[in-house]
Structure 1
């Protein structure tokens, strides 16, 4: 079935409101999920609506939460998501970060008591619109072991960055720190297919190609087969978005993929830099184009985010093709 982006947002908003989300939370979350879907990021798109609705109904999310700024000092600021869905808290964080960076040159904004935040780089789009550079980090429920370890401690801990350009789409960089996205293992499990060696460990900490055993065990960090670098990066992100701002560690948060469990109290951290405070706006825009031009001299180079932007524009013009079963599920949720 074809849905316009507005139709999809309306349907998702209604589904979340029926599950107990307040109007602002439902609308903010719907915008983010539909944006993800429109870019081909289905794992963070409409497939999450049922999960969020269940968490709202089961009390894993506070549907009446009102994100608030709880601490300010210089260029640093802390937002409390109040155990709600992450999106309105991240919206507030981005608004505050851009305003703060305009006056301070740089802003560091943390979000605590949060939940799953979707596509991290999408939160940074407002930063690019303001002509600023942005970095985003987040943690998630435990899915990866420490270097040399066997049991899951860190989440897949995504990192993202946005770099605006003068007369072109910004660079959009977004990646998780596991060797492969957990969603690929889940898909293999549903199909009854094996996974490649080097993706995951079983519950006993042994390498496995069994997708079901992998889901019961842990994901391997990026590059784990030859280096501890991925695990070290995951450790850095974990500390920055937890110890620094007061959020839970990944191993303290119950999985997003179970209906019952605790409120995860996860963290997100955003850094926003005004180029005008350093090289200057024109200097920044000139230099980034020099680098990108050099990159594009090699055939086959694709700038990060380009494919997402093409997909999004196509969806804006032609709508989203959504499976009938998914639309029926969303309508059922919207009808309570």
Structure 2
């Protein structure tokens, strides 16, 4: 079915509030999830609301958590999300990174005791709006085996970067470090469909086309083989060792309704071009690079498809599955 963005956001907000999320927590989550749907990222949109609601009801996520600065020093700070939903805490970390980078040229806002944070590129948008370069990292439940290993230890560990441009939408690079995201597998599982061969393995390390066997206890193939595995290791250290969050191997599957809090870790970095080569030179160099890329008419700039999808959704609404809409309505009215 087709639904207007504001109506979908209100529905997601109501469902999260009914499940126990505070007003601020639910507003931040609903806003980011609908933004993902508007940008064509259905794997990280309101399809996540039923899982979040289950976690809020079971205690895997705390609806009364209030993000707070746990530690800070100069250009760095650590936000404790209190095991609540991630979005409010991540937005606080991004705001702190921007504020500190304005004063010091570069800054990091990290988050601990967090939860799944959706599409990282969306969380970075305020950094680009401030004229800065942004980087983001998150760990996730274990899904990648260490090189030569037999069981998943590293998360899918998404990374994102955003680069402001002169008078144009920013360049946005946003990806997990696996061949496909768990979100893509989740959508196929919800639809009762198998997955293609070569996406992942079951808990015994055997290739499988059953999405449930990958989502619970299974593993995914790292992008780029050894190189992707090493990048996943680097993100794991950044998001866990620097923040004190749970290791990916210490988390149970996101797709389990109950259990211990997830305790994700995230990190957001803001870099002010004015502190390096200067904003004017930075913008000139970015535009020169973009022009060189677009000299080949087949090139598509990273992030451009999101802009097109967002503009289309603003005009025409967002398409979601009828079954998902019914589930959201049920959650929004659930006692």
TM-score by length of 1: 0.95
Corresponding residue of 2:7: 7
SS in 1 for 2:147: coil
Corresponding residue of 1:51: 51
Structure 1 unmatched ranges of 5 or more: none
1:188–1:195 Cα contact (<8 Å) kept = no
| Counterparts of residues 62-77 of structure 1 (less than 5 Å) | 62-77=62-77
Corresponding residue of 2:289: 291
Using the TM superposition, give the Cα deviation of residue 170 of structure 1 relative to its aligned residue in structure 2, in angstroms: 0.3
Which has the larger displacement, 314-323 or 58-67?
Answer: 314-323
Using the TM superposition, give the Cα deviation of residue 182 of structure 1 relative to its aligned residue in structure 2, in angstroms: 2.5
Corresponding residue of 1:248: 246
Aligned counterparts of 2:138 and 2:206: Cα–Cα separation in 1: 27
Aligned counterparts of 1:45 and 1:187: Cα–Cα separation in 2: 11
| Counterparts of residues 314-329 of structure 1 (less than 5 Å) | 314-329=312-327
Corresponding residue of 2:38: 38
Corresponding residue of 1:196: 197
1:304 to 293, 302, 305: 302
Q: For the aligned residues, what is the CA RMSD?
A: 1.5
Instruction: State the Cα deviation string for residues 237-270 of structure 1 (Å, max 9, x = none).
Output: 0000001111110111111101111101110001
Corresponding residue of 1:161: 161
Q: 1:133 aligned to 2:133?
A: yes
Using the TM superposition, give the Cα deviation of residue 317 of structure 1 relative to its aligned residue in structure 2, in angstroms: 2.0
1:150–1:201 Cα contact (<8 Å) kept = no
| Counterparts of residues 53-202 of structure 1 (less than 5 Å) | 53-187=53-187, 191-193=192-194, 195-197=196-198, 199-202=199-202
Instruction: State the Cα deviation string for residues 268-302 of structure 1 (Å, max 9, x = none).
Output: 00110010000101010011000010001112100
Q: 1:278 aligned to 2:276?
A: yes
Using the TM superposition, give the Cα deviation of residue 196 of structure 1 relative to its aligned residue in structure 2, in angstroms: 2.1
Aligned counterparts of 1:200 and 1:60: Cα–Cα separation in 2: 26
SS in 2 for 1:242: helix
Structure 2 unmatched ranges of 5 or more: none
1:231 to 220, 229, 232: 229
